[in-house]
Structure 1
Amino acid sequence: MENKQEGLISPLKKINGWSKFVNNVIMNKKGEIHGSVNACKTHLITGLAYEFEQTPIIITYDEIRAKEIYEDMKFLFGEEVYLYPIRDILFYDADVHSMDITAERMRILNILISKQNAVVIIPIESFLNPLSSKEIWKENQITIDETSNIDLEYLSSHLIKIGYERVSKVEAIGQFAIRGSIVDIFSPSYIMPYRIELWDTEIDSIRRFNPLTQRTIDKVKNLTIYPNQEIIIPIEKIQANVQSITDDMNNLISKLTNDNNTMALQNIKDRAQEHISEINEGNRFQGLETYLPYTDVKLVNILNYISKDKVIYIDESLKCKEKINRVWYEYKDSMIERLAYGHILPKQIEFIFDPIKIWDTLAERNYICLLNMGSNIEELSVSNTLEIRAFENTTSYKTIDALEKELIQWQQSGNATIILTGLKAKAERIIDELEERGFIANYNEILTDILPNQIIFTKGSLHKGFTYEDIKLNIVADNDLFGKEKAKKKSKKYKGSKIESFLELLPGDYVVHEIHGIGVFEGIEQIIVEGIHRDNLKIRYEGDSTLYININQMDMVQKYIGSEGNAPKLSKLGTADWKKSKAKVKKAVEDIAKDLIDLYSKRESNRGFSYELDDIWQKEFEDLFPYVETEDQLDAIVDVKKDMESDKIMDRLICGDVGYGKTEVAIRATFKAVMNKKQVAYLVPTTILAQQHFQRFSERMEPHGIKVEMLSRFRTPKQIKLTLKGLKDGTVDIVIGTHRLLSKDVEFKDLGLIIIDEEQRFGVTHKEKLKHLRTEVDAITLTATPIPRTLHMSLIGIRDMSLLEQAPLERRPVQTYVMEYSEDFIKDAITREINRDGQVFFLYNKVKDIDEMAGKIQKLVPQAKVTFAHGQMSERELEHIMLDFINKEITVLVCTTIIETGLDIQNANTIIINDADRMGLSQLYQLRGRVGRSNKVAYAYLMYAKNKVLKEVAEKRLQAIKQFTQLGSGFKIAMRDLEIRGAGNLLGAQQHGHMEAIGYELYSKMLKQAIDTEQGIKVPEPLETIIEIKINAFIPRTYIVDEIQKLDIYKKISSIQNEKDVIEVEEEMEDRYGEIPNSTRNLVDIALLKAMANDLGISKLSQQDNQILLFFNNKITLLPQTIQTLFEKYKRSIKLTNGNICIDIKEINKKEILSYIKNIIIEMKHLNNYIN
């Protein structure tokens, strides 16, 4: 095993008793280290791991500590470091739940089986979770290479057995699809799905593909398909023991009958009887594995997957024991209560492991316990011990003076010092300053022997620094030194594509035809005329009028996109209403295009303050940011600084989801402005947000001598008076405030930058004042509502925008469950969150009885501090409640949807949403975003009423919610609705109305045309070219079965403009569906023919008997020389009739007509271009 950190860990050998301890561990396989503080444990573990020449397995007491260890080990060991995430022990029927944690756990199980050189960190409570044995796991893997033979029927049934879901299109982990001879599969151990193409039963190729574009990335030679569930359930074994389950149920029913417990009796009948029926029928369901205690199936925990020769490092065994016991007793208490209520059967309680057995099996392994203070637990106590004297660095060296002071003391004690920094440039800058103060310091990327009094800088990152007193060694972590140095972001081998379109079209959806208006899509219908098969879109209009749109006209049809839940008015065929609507919108977009161009021109002509380039202080300030910036964030920061350094007045919109780092962009711009002796005003819509931003800005700015103040209702009249005076005389650099900032008595000495958070939430008067301010000082506007990509592209060069679309690296996905309402579950979920010192949002959107619901929650969880909040409360009352929640004086907040999106409540990591089926998807998306802002796993539980008969609309929404945990249609619909709202916010409420009238897609197209026209770019008049050739041109059902995918391909075919597009579409079809049928190739050729004919001004290309007629729009657009050349080449086959061209095809083979016409059109186009 290569020692990557030899110089850093070699001093450990000087610890008194080190060699003896190591030898004893090699002989007796066990040991204890006393006096090891948390900060130095990973350093010690690394030293020991290299002594034993094996990578370590580390057990710790909670997920936050596990994350610390994980980050440290990434530096000490490199790439092969994994954190095994904690999984909920759920005994409730969830319709669907997030797969990301389960997928990561399974990926690590595979690594433990196949790669013995990986470092794995495991929180102790994960040992409670049962798993299938690694032998069963291996048996159920499928390894495929180019020599394999596959029986599709067997493969399909086996994949379902090991936890995969069959779908029509693979987009997420745990799915597979079979289309003819093509199998797509997304196994949890891979970051990309794979596509297997067969020739009969033989493997033709194995390819990785992008789940967003569905296109191949590269070919591979082999593939192992791993199970998609931690427990592989042999349903036949449960079926064989169904009598035991039935007997247990009947015994419980007898007991409950004697106790006259009618509610529990009903529960046992609802649940257990239904489950027994499902088992008898051989059906799998959520929670089936909990019946395994009725069988002889042997389950194991993660220890079974860890090689027996491995040394396991246990971080604070007493804390581990306390944690696992607490989780176990919580589980047991919950299960006993659930048993009493008839929700489970007695043996199901035995499903998870008893902690006593866990310690017994751990005691048989090779282990080293690392302890700070106190003794080891009895179960793991050993005689081989090592005593060390270490302590954590409690000082944070924010300045060079603080570091100098500490270094003097260390050198007086003869200590060697290693200082870790992420970037060499930063180290060299500090070394220069230290040398000016008389120190000798060096930078070495590879450390060798370290001498007393030496100061060495090296590249690295640890969460905390520490000192070994006995070997006189100090290690200063990057986190201690002027703030955390960010690790360099790893470049990915594959960069995912952004979803460009959310437009999955389903029967019943509203559509917009550019000429005929808004209708309802009723599906694809094949029409046969004179033996020719053609697919058509069937669209229903007002009065049940039906229009069949030929598939090759599909580019004229878009899915209607308006506000979620608002049904548009259907157009009436044969009337001028649609034309009038379009004309009205056309006038509106022309006006807004003119306003945008005028505003842009004025801004370009006005001159503002030109800021200096970044100096050393800006660099040091930015180095203090404790997280890794996303690429989008860095781009936005560069954009803002360029704007500030130019002499034009900045007016930039920064758009990004909650928690995506908009505020950090604003903070860096603020610091730059203040360093250039300018004042900054930060305007927020609410008092609470002002308070949060005031605290954040003060923490970041005041260490640099920058004065930050606040103007809001939370300030006393005296404080406000002093702040106003400071703004006027320049002693206040930054002011954070609500609309109070826009009052007449607020005067600045030299305002340079105004930052506006969520401008759409301010009133008309305030917006007018802001509009005026924007012409005088630099402005940044922040919004959490996304902007459509198409609108962003249309406004490039007119409205300066930066989009933050990437989630921060440390942002963990919210674990989402969709389930029936259950008070037992609510109690469990809240209790679990309280037990990890967290807080809970409970969304209840009925003001009239919200107090009763809060009372119900209080009874369910007496230890919780419960209160409620809703929009009919006074502003001041709401403020106090929210402040109490932020300050952790409230545990559970029962509230309506009024909770602000911008609030950063890191301790709230569970949200329970009641009646989720009544809420819009975009609303659910935003509500879910209120949790998951910390380093803890966050949970969202979307609940709907038990046994509720749902209306069709609610059922449809619920189906979408069920796909909400992954990148499915729920997410897409939510994003789509939010983007339309974002477009309305950006362009104004009136424009939002116009979008509603004709649909966003057509509105966007018209706005782009209006902007181009206003800028003097020639916009050609749209021309609809009709192609009527007697040839089969459609996608057979046998080729693409799924209608959504078929429509997607039809849309792509209808958008073909040139040969390059043809290659692109054909490659995609061959990649995803296999060899292209002739009828589909004809369709592609017709699409290209249509595009070329359109370029030539041909309005119709029609086959009539043995002739093809080309009708031109208004007048023929072919040049005389072109026509003459064609006549000479084709003799009598081409002639001019009444201004149209007639092509004789009676001598042409029927199969070659399309190719023949296509070649003539290509020739026309080339000749026209050449002569021109």
Structure 2
Amino acid sequence: VNFDMTEGFIYSDYVFLSQREIFKEKVSRKKYKTKFKYASKINDINKLNVGDYVVHNVHGIGIYNGIKKLTVNGLDKDYIEVFYQGKDKLYIPVEKIDNLSKFSGKEGTVPKINKLGGTEWQRTKSRVNKRVADMAEELIKLYSERESRKGFSFSKDTDLQRSFEKDFPYELTKDQSLAIKQIKMDMESSKPMDRLLCGDVGFGKTEVAFEAAFKAIMDSKQVLLLCPTTILSSQHFENAKERFKNFPVSIALLNRFTSTKETHRIISGLKDGTIDFVIGTHRLLSDDVVPCNLGLLIIDEEQRFGVKHKEKIKQYKTNIDVLTLTATPIPRTLQMSMVGIRSLSLIETPPVDRYPIQTYVIEENNQIMRDAIYKELSRDGQVFILCNRIDKIDSLVEKIKRLVPEAKINFAHGQMNKSELEDRMISFINREYDILICTTIIETGIDIPNVNTLIILNADHFGLSQLYQIRGRVGRSNKFAYAYLMYAPFKSLTETAVKRLNVIKDFTELGSGFSIATRDLSIRGAGDILGSEQAGFIDTVGIDLYLKMLNVEVARRRGEIIEEEDDNTKPLINVATHIKDSYVANEDLKIEIHRKINTIVSRESFESVKAELEDRFGALDNDMLVYMYEEWFEKLAKKVPLVNVWQTKNSIELLFDKKIINLIKIDDLFIKAFEITPMFRFQSRGDNVVITLDTVKLDKHPVYYLVELLLVIIGNNS
């Protein structure tokens, strides 16, 4: 039968076997085709809307008021208009767009608007800078400590390792493969690994962890997998038993369900080396758990452990390899600060057979609720109904019983004692119930692939990050999943609530919420790594500027040369920067295009941006190409000893420091410049070299020739 299936089945008098069962081949899973060709989504939560708070590196917090076209020296240019205190306006050239970021504090944070030219913003930045300097010092100290430590160097992969990896029934995603490669390199080095594996829920972090665990066990080392909850430890244990079943690995589970007799057996097995791999809760951190040859500690969601447990984890980190798994997004800018301090692997691509969650924002409606539940039950699935009012749960249970009388219903909430709560969750996982009515306790750490319908009541009461994480509880298998965000009928929603619900509804694209790291979550992710005491400082200047300041300070302390911030520098060559409405009328897209053009630093990035813009919006006119070349010229100019540029009606003069002679022989430069155009002239002026481009008889805009000249001087295709 020409049909993809993971395992066989019996129907009538026939036995159907899957390809994998006969040939031991990997299952080729159906790929869901994304409708976006490029990773940067248009519908980005970080996009600027008129009225949004923004942060300018030099002038502080203001209110974004859109893009304005101004004509300067006969050239149309785009400027970003920002309102400040006292109705002051600031026009920021789009070439300086990197100086501006959307203000992002915790959801609900309202920042104070600054006064243009006032001293308050400088005082605020100075306070934050002091904290950033302390943080950078701490990070550098961690780096030097890590460099001085010696750990165990694991062997290269064995044949058995390759067999184990081949035994995984699915093809790994590109990100999974890269993460495994990075982890193996860490394990094979002599320094203890401290790697954070960051990926959205259900994107395959567990398989990566299991392959690392197997590698450690092949070198006769023991592995501990530490989980924040009993349920999660039980789920990991069941998955591990299935994954390792064809290999000589002894696996055990240590949590509150483990009997006293079994606990003694596991503890002594760890001491005498007869047990290779133990999965458990914080019970693994007890003093009586003493592995004889521990080689790898895997921690799932470290931030969910208490202070005492974190201290014990810290002790482990001194000389053994540690791999931490998290589903909380880590801002990309923070990753730069962590280079060499804590390694980071990202899994951003979803498994190939995963579908986006179909999301509906609607008034609460019994008929829709009933139909949604029946639709799920008809395919043997289960349903989450989320109600965050504990006092309303009993009446909701009765209501659902009336709507769907044949369904088996249970409920769970955070006021139950931990044991009872876990027992109910386990019963639901074991499919003893069809519907679980619960509070936000399902927000994190529960993996139930059979639950693919979620109904959230009073969804307008939840924060954006909460909604995103709760919705992530469904859509964990290869079935279509449905989320119904309901609000009370006849209720008039606040503007914030409407915006929040629509954002979640629009984020159906796979991994979209993760790839753009909803702001609240990324702030939480930064806090998890940097420490929660940073949160106040992050809220003062916004996460983007805070992390930019941190990156600069870390780089400075590592001895890198940092270019001083100057808001008054003019473009070297005056060109039109206006994006015509006939090309793109939407302001959000204009901002996105300006940001993309700002990233051009090399021939490769120029071609990449050009290809993307032409693919999405059509052919570029000459003005746009000139604007792109000018941005490229600006970046190249920073790489050569260019002292000054003068532009007149008939010529452009470039003044170079005599160091240019160290980069390229003047004779060679003269010949190559002549090949670009005979309109270049050379002369010596004191200690400097002046190259003049006569612009009157040129076929194209001068910036085309100037870029080619600088490429010759640098001597590569930058």
TM, length-normalised to structure 2: 0.83
- What whole-Å deviation, never above 9, does each CA across 1:745-794 have from its counterpart, x for those lacking one? 32222222211110011112211211111112221111112333443355
Counterpart AA for 2:309: H
User: Does the C-alpha gap of structure 1 residues 840 and 500 become closer, same or farther in structure 2, counting only changes over 3 Å?
Assistant: closer
SS of residue matched to 1:909 = strand
- What whole-Å deviation, never above 9, does each CA across 1:22-63 have from its counterpart, x for those lacking one? xxxxxxxxxxxxxxxxxxxx3xxx8xxxxxxxxxxxxxxxxx
Distance in 1 (alpha carbons) for counterparts of 2:461 and 2:504: 11
- What whole-Å deviation, never above 9, does each CA across 1:163-188 have from its counterpart, x for those lacking one? xxxxxxxxxxxxxxxxxxxxxxxxxx
Which residue of the partner structure matches residue 579 of structure 2? Answer: 1035
Counterpart AA for 1:486: K
Equivalenced residues, count: 697
Of 40, 43, 62, 1:499 maps to 40
Is this contact kept in 1: 2:94–2:577, CA < 8 A?
no
Which residue of the partner structure matches residue 424 of structure 2? Answer: 881
Of 446, 451, 468, 1:908 maps to 451
Is this contact kept in 1: 2:57–2:100, CA < 8 A?
yes
- What whole-Å deviation, never above 9, does each CA across 1:360-411 have from its counterpart, x for those lacking one? xxxxxxxxxxx735xxxxxxxxxxxxxxxx7679xxxxxxxxxxxxxxxxxx
SS of residue matched to 2:544 = helix
Distance in 1 (alpha carbons) for counterparts of 2:159 and 2:625: 62
Is this contact kept in 1: 2:4–2:28, CA < 8 A?
no
Q: Does 1:486 align with 2:29?
A: no
User: Does the C-alpha gap of structure 1 residues 485 and 958 become closer, same or farther in structure 2, counting only changes over 3 Å?
Assistant: same
Of 58, 62, 76, 1:519 maps to 62
Of 372, 395, 401, 2:12 maps to 372
User: Does the C-alpha gap of structure 1 residues 717 and 1042 become closer, same or farther in structure 2, counting only changes over 3 Å?
Assistant: same
- What whole-Å deviation, never above 9, does each CA across 1:1114-1149 have from its counterpart, x for those lacking one? xx9844999xx99xx99999999xx9999999x987
Distance in 1 (alpha carbons) for counterparts of 2:529 and 2:617: 41
Is this contact kept in 2: 1:683–1:738, CA < 8 A?
yes
Which residue of the partner structure matches residue 98 of structure 1? Answer: none
Distance in 1 (alpha carbons) for counterparts of 2:502 and 2:324: 36
Counterpart AA for 1:1001: D
User: Does the C-alpha gap of structure 1 residues 567 and 1094 become closer, same or farther in structure 2, counting only changes over 3 Å?
Assistant: farther
Note the C-alpha offset of 1:537.
Answer: 0.9
Is this contact kept in 2: 1:925–1:974, CA < 8 A?
no
Q: Does 1:819 align with 2:362?
A: yes
Of 992, 1006, 1013, 2:556 maps to 1013
Q: Does 1:934 align with 2:477?
A: yes
Is this contact kept in 2: 1:817–1:941, CA < 8 A?
yes
User: Does the C-alpha gap of structure 1 residues 1109 and 509 become closer, same or farther in structure 2, counting only changes over 3 Å?
Assistant: farther
Counterpart AA for 1:773: Y
Which residue of the partner structure matches residue 405 of structure 2? Answer: 862
Which residue of the partner structure matches residue 167 of structure 1? Answer: none
Note the C-alpha offset of 1:559.
Answer: 2.7
Which residue of the partner structure matches residue 198 of structure 1? Answer: none
Which residue of the partner structure matches residue 714 of structure 1? Answer: 257
Q: Does 1:664 align with 2:207?
A: yes
Larger radius of gyration: 1
Moved more, 1051-1060 or 503-512: 1051-1060
Comparing both chains, which one has the higher relative contact order based on Cα–Cα distances under 8 Å and sequence gaps of 6 or more? 2
Note the C-alpha offset of 1:687.
Answer: 1.6
Of 19, 22, 31, 1:462 maps to 19
SS of residue matched to 1:1046 = helix
Is this contact kept in 2: 1:817–1:942, CA < 8 A?
yes
Of 571, 580, 592, 2:135 maps to 592
Distance in 1 (alpha carbons) for counterparts of 2:33 and 2:502: 35
TM, length-normalised to structure 1: 0.53
Which residue of the partner structure matches residue 567 of structure 1? Answer: 110
Gaps of 5+ in 2: 671-678
SS of residue matched to 2:138 = helix
Distance in 1 (alpha carbons) for counterparts of 2:250 and 2:603: 62
Of 510, 521, 541, 1:998 maps to 541
Counterpart AA for 1:1017: E
Of 374, 378, 400, 1:835 maps to 378
Distance in 2 (alpha carbons) for counterparts of 1:729 and 1:491: 47
Distance in 1 (alpha carbons) for counterparts of 2:195 and 2:692: 60
Which residue of the partner structure matches residue 491 of structure 2? Answer: 948
Distance in 1 (alpha carbons) for counterparts of 2:452 and 2:540: 40
Q: Does 1:987 align with 2:539?
A: no
Note the C-alpha offset of 1:862.
Answer: 1.7
Alignment of 1:617-656 (within 5 A): 617-656=160-199
Of 583, 593, 597, 1:1053 maps to 597
User: Does the C-alpha gap of structure 1 residues 997 and 1141 become closer, same or farther in structure 2, counting only changes over 3 Å?
Assistant: farther
User: Does the C-alpha gap of structure 1 residues 629 and 779 become closer, same or farther in structure 2, counting only changes over 3 Å?
Assistant: same
Q: Does 1:602 align with 2:242?
A: no
Distance in 2 (alpha carbons) for counterparts of 1:1144 and 1:935: 64
Which residue of the partner structure matches residue 673 of structure 2? Answer: none
- What whole-Å deviation, never above 9, does each CA across 1:580-612 have from its counterpart, x for those lacking one? 333344444444344334333333333223334
Is this contact kept in 2: 1:514–1:556, CA < 8 A?
yes
User: Does the C-alpha gap of structure 1 residues 880 and 542 become closer, same or farther in structure 2, counting only changes over 3 Å?
Assistant: farther
User: Does the C-alpha gap of structure 1 residues 543 and 714 become closer, same or farther in structure 2, counting only changes over 3 Å?
Assistant: farther
Which residue of the partner structure matches residue 687 of structure 1? Answer: 230
Gaps of 5+ in 1: 1-41, 47-65, 73-314, 317-370, 374-389, 394-460, 465-476, 479-483
Is this contact kept in 1: 2:358–2:480, CA < 8 A?
yes
Distance in 2 (alpha carbons) for counterparts of 1:1099 and 1:976: 41
Q: Does 1:779 align with 2:314?
A: no
SS of residue matched to 2:485 = strand
Distance in 2 (alpha carbons) for counterparts of 1:1099 and 1:823: 73
Note the C-alpha offset of 1:547.
Answer: 1.3
Distance in 2 (alpha carbons) for counterparts of 1:825 and 1:506: 34
Is this contact kept in 1: 2:681–2:692, CA < 8 A?
no
Note the C-alpha offset of 1:826.
Answer: 0.7
Which residue of the partner structure matches residue 154 of structure 1? Answer: none
Distance in 1 (alpha carbons) for counterparts of 2:603 and 2:170: 46
User: Does the C-alpha gap of structure 1 residues 634 and 1085 become closer, same or farther in structure 2, counting only changes over 3 Å?
Assistant: closer
Is this contact kept in 2: 1:842–1:893, CA < 8 A?
yes
Distance in 1 (alpha carbons) for counterparts of 2:494 and 2:219: 61
Distance in 1 (alpha carbons) for counterparts of 2:65 and 2:587: 12
- What whole-Å deviation, never above 9, does each CA across 1:457-477 have from its counterpart, x for those lacking one? xxxx6265xxxxxxxxxxxx2
Note the C-alpha offset of 1:888.
Answer: 1.9
Which residue of the partner structure matches residue 674 of structure 2? Answer: none
Distance in 2 (alpha carbons) for counterparts of 1:802 and 1:758: 15
Of 556, 559, 569, 2:99 maps to 556
Note the C-alpha offset of 1:796.
Answer: 3.9
Distance in 1 (alpha carbons) for counterparts of 2:270 and 2:311: 22
Alignment of 1:10-159 (within 5 A): 42=1, 68=5
Which residue of the partner structure matches residue 924 of structure 1? Answer: 467
User: Does the C-alpha gap of structure 1 residues 498 and 1051 become closer, same or farther in structure 2, counting only changes over 3 Å?
Assistant: closer
Counterpart AA for 2:593: I
Distance in 1 (alpha carbons) for counterparts of 2:157 and 2:713: 57
Note the C-alpha offset of 1:527.
Answer: 3.4
User: Does the C-alpha gap of structure 1 residues 1103 and 581 become closer, same or farther in structure 2, counting only changes over 3 Å?
Assistant: farther
Distance in 1 (alpha carbons) for counterparts of 2:244 and 2:278: 12
User: Does the C-alpha gap of structure 1 residues 966 and 709 become closer, same or farther in structure 2, counting only changes over 3 Å?
Assistant: closer
Alignment of 1:414-429 (within 5 A): none
Counterpart AA for 2:65: E
SS of residue matched to 2:144 = helix
Superposition CA RMSD, Å: 4.4
Q: Does 1:1026 align with 2:567?
A: no
